[in-house]
Amino acid sequence: MTTATTESTITEHEAAQVERANASSAAPIVFVHGLWLLPSSWDRWVTLFEEAGYVGLTPGWPDDPATVAEAREHPEVFASKGIGEIADYEEAIIRMPGLQRLRTHPWSPLPMIRL
């Protein structure tokens, strides 16, 4: 899958996080959630790292629900996602133009290992 194809599926929230990271002089760090979680599961860690001088990005997975309530109403959206699809999606985000000085969380799930 090409980055150009995947970029069209990146959410406004993810694009805004990349823009915020690019506007910052802080080193970005990307937190990738695991199965059955949402990007908001990293909120406390993002706060901790941002207080330490980083700027946090919390991309979702393709078609992630926006909220926990939506996830509970539609758990089927978590099914049938492959590691390749998730890694391609995450790669499109971390390779967006201008995102520099990238650090990934050392405990990132398997898709980040592939990158």
Q: Which tens digits make up the pLDDT trace of 37-84?
A: 899 999 999 999 999 999 999 988 888 888 899 999 998 888 888 888
CA 18, CA 37: separation in Å to the nearest integer? Answer: 21
Asked if residue 89 lies in contact with residue 62, where contact means CB atoms within 8 angstroms, the answer is: yes
Residue (of 32, 30, 39) closest to 71 by Cα position = 39
22-48 confidence digits (pLDDT tens): 899 888 888 888 877 899 999 999 999
Q: What is the mean pLDDT of residues 14-18?
A: 89
* Amino acid symbol at 75: P
Domain that holds residue 81: 3-114
pLDDT for residue 2: 37
Q: What domain count does the chain have?
A: 1
CA 3, CA 17: separation in Å to the nearest integer? Answer: 18
* SS3 at position 95: coil
Map tokens 């133009």 to a residue.
Answer: 97
